[in-house]
Structure 1
Amino acid sequence: MTFATILVLAAEEGHGNVALETVGFGITAIVVFAALGLVTLSYRHVANRHPHKADAYARAQANDTHEAGHGH
């Protein structure tokens, strides 16, 4: 057998539906993004869990007379 014959036979073998072979990558991506979304959602309203700390910080910053920003 020649190399060309081997290539032709390998090409004719068929590999099924290529789109169906890649479905696993899509499912994996969906699972990863869903897990990252749950992690992101778990940090919602973290500052609101400790309102006494937020109030103390706001009072401390209210006494600061130095204005931040460009040209101030």
Structure 2
Amino acid sequence: MSLLSTIVQAAEETKNALVFPAWVFPLIAAVAFIFLGLIVWSFRDVANRHSQKTGGSPASGHTTDH
């Protein structure tokens, strides 16, 4: 038996089963993206909530005084 046929035969014998069924992996990804999206959504408009700390100045910090 040649080396190539031995390698091919070993490759065919080694079949690893998935930990979960194939449909579970996209489900996990979707749940993770939804969870991260909810975290980002919870921080919406945070800069405008604390305008008293900036003294009501514009967010950019630039003034029109020259």
TM range (shorter): 0.5 to 0.7
Q: Unpaired runs of 5+ in structure 1?
A: 16-20, 66-72
Q: When the two structures are superposed, what TM-score results if normalisation uses the length of structure 1? A: 0.49
- Misfit runs of 4+, over 4 Å: none
Q: Unpaired runs of 5+ in structure 2?
A: 1-8
Structure 1 residue 44: Cα displacement: 0.3
Select the structure that is richer in helix: 1
2:43 aligns to what? 43
Structure 1 residue 39: Cα displacement: 1.1
Aligned residues, how many? 48
Larger Rg: 1
Q: When the two structures are superposed, what TM-score results if normalisation uses the length of structure 2? A: 0.52
Structure 1 residue 51: Cα displacement: 1.9
